[in-house]
């Protein structure tokens, strides 16, 4: 008992000629029971009310039930006017003798079995969280290019967080095991967190795709300009070399002096000299060529246009299939755990 009996005592007794005395004293009992909320809100509770004497033994006072369990259950159903959150199932009456510090005392135990009405919790709490999960699945239809998808997912995640705060106020903190409904909401919250992380990854890859496309466009423009400048300078260079090879030596001779003789080049050495000059021109071409080759190598190392976008599409497809399978398996597992005895 948590409170003192507030019912007024009856002043009437019945005395029989056999010596028996009949006294009826109604009691208003308020008691607390330890609850097991593991299967909340589909849980069933049982509460024991024990009656025994504080000082008399079983030889001096015995507690005997007036009715059996079935009649007591029917009588209780007639007396109950409103059951509010709990649904009364039945009452079990047991009579036993207990050893209390060497004294055998008679004890009578009333076990009351109740079941929680779960409809209100299902409609107001469990179904909204399931709807939030459906909205998170539907968000895969939103385009990844803008920030609307990310904002929508964050909003849904915050709504589930509010439901967690409400659950914390409903459930008692004295539970020995983690309730299934807490596992239910944390599991759905984890799936939504994975979905949010996948969206952030996809948006990062798309941003990388846009930056690479911009850099490739700038690089192609600079490469075209470099090629044109290289061609002009290379042509000027070779034009100067050819002039140097083919031009004759012209000297200013003062008046009254004979010009110096120009020694003719031997025919055999002329071919070798031309080969050396051609090899020098080839080397000069190789020296001018590396910058354009470097630009071409960088262009080859860069990903082709639309590469990261195709990767994002594959990631979205694989994760969407995984999301549906994981959510279905999780919900089936929770239903089995709630229905098992």
pLDDT 10s digits, 147-189: 889 999 999 999 999 999 988 888 877 677 889 999 999 999 9
Domain end, chosen from 117, 139, 157, is at 117
Q: How many domains does the chain have?
A: 2
| pLDDT confidence bin for 197, thresholds 50/70/90 | very high
Residues 98 and 124 in one domain: no
**Are 97 and 58 contacting, i.e. CB atoms less than 8 angstroms apart?**
yes
Residue 250 belongs to some domain of the structure: no
**Are 259 and 253 contacting, i.e. CB atoms less than 8 angstroms apart?**
yes
d(CA 87, CA 45): 10
Asked if the model's pLDDT at residue 301 lies above 90, the reply is: no
Half-sphere exposure of 160 (CA within 13 A, CB side): 26
CATH code of 65's domain: 2.70.170.10
Mean predicted confidence (pLDDT) in 188-198: 95
Q: Which residue has the higher pLDDT, 25 or 118?
A: 118
**Could you tell me which of 89, 44, 88, 95 has the C-alpha nearest to residue 67?**
95
Asked if the model's pLDDT at residue 28 lies above 90, the reply is: no
Residues 130 and 62 in one domain: no
Asked if the model's pLDDT at residue 214 lies above 80, the reply is: no
Domain end, chosen from 86, 117, 148, is at 117
| pLDDT confidence bin for 327, thresholds 50/70/90 | very high
d(CA 197, CA 203): 10
Residue 136 structural domain? 119-233+295-341
| pLDDT confidence bin for 295, thresholds 50/70/90 | very low
The token pair that represents 232 in the structure block: 């002009």
Burial class (CB within 10 angstroms; exposed 0-12, middle 13-18, buried 19+) of 106 = buried
| pLDDT confidence bin for 314, thresholds 50/70/90 | very high
Report the residue count for the chain: 341
Residues 176 and 304 in one domain: yes
Residue 278 belongs to some domain of the structure: no
Asked if the model's pLDDT at residue 280 lies above 50, the reply is: yes
Residue 21 belongs to some domain of the structure: no
Residues 113 and 128 in one domain: no
Residue 327 makes CB contacts below 8 A (sequence gap 6+) with 133, 137, 188, 191
SS3 of residue 101 by DSSP: coil
- 262 CB neighbour count, 10 Å cutoff: 9
Burial class (CB within 10 angstroms; exposed 0-12, middle 13-18, buried 19+) of 202 = buried
Residue 4 belongs to some domain of the structure: no
CATH code of 168's domain: 1.20.58.390
pLDDT for residue 171: 82
Residues 51 and 131 in one domain: no
Residue 101 belongs to some domain of the structure: yes
Q: What is the pTM of this model?
A: 0.68
pLDDT for residue 82: 75
Residues 101 and 215 in one domain: no
Residues 83 and 225 in one domain: no
Mean predicted confidence (pLDDT) in 127-134: 95
Separation of CA 36 from chain center: 29
% of the chain exceeding 90 in pLDDT: 32
């Amino acid at each position: 008992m948590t409170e003192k009996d507030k019912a007024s005592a009856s002043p009437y007794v019945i005395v029989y000629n056999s010596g028996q005395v009949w006294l009826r004293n109604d009691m208003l009992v308020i008691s607390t029971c330890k609850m097991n909320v593991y299967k909340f809100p589909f849980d069933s509770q049982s509460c024991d009310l024990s009656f025994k004497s504080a000082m008399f033994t079983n030889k001096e006072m015995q507690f005997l039930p007036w009715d059996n369990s079935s009649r007591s259950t029917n009588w209780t159903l007639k007396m109950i006017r409103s059951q509010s959150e709990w649904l009364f199932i039945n009452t079990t009456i047991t009579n036993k003798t207990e050893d209390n510090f060497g004294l055998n005392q008679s004890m009578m135990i009333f076990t009351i079995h109740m079941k929680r009405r779960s409809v209100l919790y299902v409609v107001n709490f469990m179904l909204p969280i399931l709807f939030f999960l459906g909205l998170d699945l539907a968000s895969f239809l939103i385009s990844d290019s803008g920030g609307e998808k990310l904002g929508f997912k964050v909003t849904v995640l915050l709504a589930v967080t509010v439901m967690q705060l409400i659950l914390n106020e409903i459930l008692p903190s004295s539970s020995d095991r983690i309730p299934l409904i807490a596992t239910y909401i944390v599991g759905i919250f984890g799936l939504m967190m994975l979905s949010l992380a996948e969206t952030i990854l996809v948006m990062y890859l798309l941003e990388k795709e846009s930056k690479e496309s911009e850099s490739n466009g700038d690089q192609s423009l600079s490469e075209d300009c470099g090629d044109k400048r290289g061609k002009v300078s290379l042509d000027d260079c070779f034009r100067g070399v050819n002039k140097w090879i083919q031009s004759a030596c012209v000297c200013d001779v003062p008046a009254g002096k004979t010009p110096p003789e120009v020694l003719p080049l031997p025919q055999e050495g002329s071919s070798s000299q031309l080969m050396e000059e051609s090899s020098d021109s080839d080397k000069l071409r190789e020296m001018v060529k590396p910058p354009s080759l470097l630009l071409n190598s960088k262009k080859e190392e860069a990903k082709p246009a639309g590469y990261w976008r195709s990767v994002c599409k594959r990631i979205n497809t694989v994760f969407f299939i995984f999301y549906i399978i994981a959510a279905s398996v999780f919900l089936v597992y929770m239903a089995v755990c709630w229905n098992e005895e």
